[in-house]
Structure 1
Amino acid sequence: MSDTLEAAVSALNEKLAGGEFDASAKFAIADLGAIILDSNGARISDDEADVTLSADADTFQEILSGELNPTGAFMSGKLSVDGDMGVAMKLASVLA
């Protein structure tokens, strides 16, 4: 398993702690794998989700660190969204 994915899961679980996220989302990270976020937290998995957000590893890292706004990444074409856009917006507010 990728150290990058393990570190991302840890960081996402910290961001999700105490937050209300009652849907499911998948971060599909090019050449690394996928992370699922749901009411149970974040974990490395490629399960089905309400929305899939796809990006390369650099873009994902920038979003996770707060350097890049998820909406800005989507608008610039660095992040693609497939599925429920409302869930994507909810996730963006939880991770902010």
Structure 2
Amino acid sequence: MARVIDKAVDRLGARLASFDGTAKFVVLGEGTILADATGVREGEGPAEVTLTASADDFRALLEGRLKPATAFMTGRLKVDGPMPAAMRLGQALS
């Protein structure tokens, strides 16, 4: 089975084309994904907003089974950074 990170990089690359900031996705137990003007890739770096979730919750977000706002409100998605940037990112993921 391919790692969550590998699948996520591909899916996020297409979805985040309209996101104009920098974002970091921390997938607990799997790794970190960075999205910026140069694209989406596995790795670390500075970001305007950081989203942290379990591998299962992150997979559900990418598959559309879990909405970003619902994940945040129920504590399944942690946000570090300005809420307006997180909201823009959530719209790009939906």
TM-score exceeds 0.5: yes
Q: Which residues in structure 2 correspond to 1:3-22 (within 5 Å)?
A: 3-17=3-17, 19=18, 21-22=19-20
Indicate if the aligned counterparts of 1:70 and 1:92 stay in contact, CA closer than 8 A.
Answer: yes
TM-score by length of 2: 0.91
Q: Which residues in structure 2 correspond to 1:10-89 (within 5 Å)?
A: 10-17=10-17, 19=18, 21-89=19-87
Indicate if the aligned counterparts of 2:79 and 2:86 stay in contact, CA closer than 8 A.
Answer: yes
Q: Give the number of equivalent residue pairs.
A: 93
Q: Which amino acid aligns with 2:60?
A: E
In the TM superposition, residue 4 of structure 1 has moved relative to its aligned partner by 2.0
Offset from partner CA, 1:25-68 (integer Å, 9 cap, x none): 11101111100112222110111111111110000000011110
| Unaligned runs of at least 5 residues, structure 1 | none
Misfit runs of 4+, over 6 Å = none
Indicate if the aligned counterparts of 1:73 and 1:79 stay in contact, CA closer than 8 A.
Answer: yes
Q: CA RMSD in A?
A: 1.3
